[in-house]
Homo-oligomer: A and B are copies of this chain.
Amino acid sequence: MVKDQMDQISKGLEDVNLKWTRLTSIDGEKGILKYGGYRVEDIIKGGALVEEVQYLFLNGELPNKKQLADFQGKIREGYSVPKYVIDAVTNLPPESDSVALQMNAFAALAATMKFKWDKQTDRDVAAKVIGNMAAITAAIYRHTSGMQPLELEPGNSYAESFLKATFGKKPSQQEIDAMNTALILYMDHEVPASTTAGLVVVSTLADIYSGIVGSLAALKGPLHGGAAEAAIAQFAQIGDPAKVEDWFNQNIVTGKSRLMGFGHRVYKTYDPRAKIFRSIATDLVKNNTEAEKMYKIALKVEELGIKNMASKGIYPNTDFFSGIVYMSLGFPLKNDIYTALFALSRVTGWMAHFIEYVEEQHRLIRPRAVYTGPEERSFVPIDRR
Question: Is the Cβ of B84 less than 8 Å from the Cβ of A91?
Answer: yes
A381 CB, nearest partner CB in chain B, Å: 5
Q: Which of A188-196, A269-277, A294-302, A325-333 contacts B (4 or more CB under 8 A)?
A: A188-196
| Known pairs A20-B372, A364-B12; A210 contacts B217 (CB<8 A) | yes
The reply to whether the CB of A207 lies closer than 8 angstroms to some CB of chain B is yes
Q: Which of A219-227, A245-253, A306-314 contacts B (4 or more CB under 8 A)?
A: A219-227
CB contacts (< 8 Å) of A371 on chain B: these are 20-22, 24-25
- Segment 15-41 of A: residues with Cβ below 8 Å from B: 15-25, 34, 36-39
Cβ-closest chain B residue relative to A93: B112
The reply to whether the CB of A255 lies closer than 8 angstroms to some CB of chain B is no
Question: Is the Cβ of A37 less than 8 Å from the Cβ of B97?
Answer: no
Cβ-closest chain B residue relative to A102: B107
Question: Is the Cβ of B373 less than 8 Å from the Cβ of A12?
Answer: no
Q: Which of A60-68, A72-80, A156-164 contacts B (4 or more CB under 8 A)?
A: A60-68
The reply to whether the CB of A6 lies closer than 8 angstroms to some CB of chain B is yes
In the assembly, how many copies of this chain are there?
Answer: 2
Question: Is the Cβ of B20 less than 8 Å from the Cβ of A1?
Answer: yes
| Known pairs A37-B376, A91-B88, A374-B22; A224 contacts B13 (CB<8 A) | no
Q: Which of A173-181, A197-205, A236-244 contacts B (4 or more CB under 8 A)?
A: A197-205
Question: Is the Cβ of A8 less than 8 Å from the Cβ of B17?
Answer: yes
A331 CB, nearest partner CB in chain B, Å: 18
16 further A-B pairs in the complex, CB-CB below 8 A; given A46-B381, A104-B108: A10-B16, A11-B361, A17-B370, A22-B374, A60-B373, A62-B382, A68-B382, A93-B111, A107-B213, A191-B368, A193-B366, A194-B204, A197-B200, A201-B218, A205-B223, A210-B217
What would be 9 A-B contacts, judged by CB atoms less than 8 Å apart? A10-B17, A12-B203, A13-B16, A100-B107, A193-B200, A196-B367, A207-B220, A213-B217, A214-B214
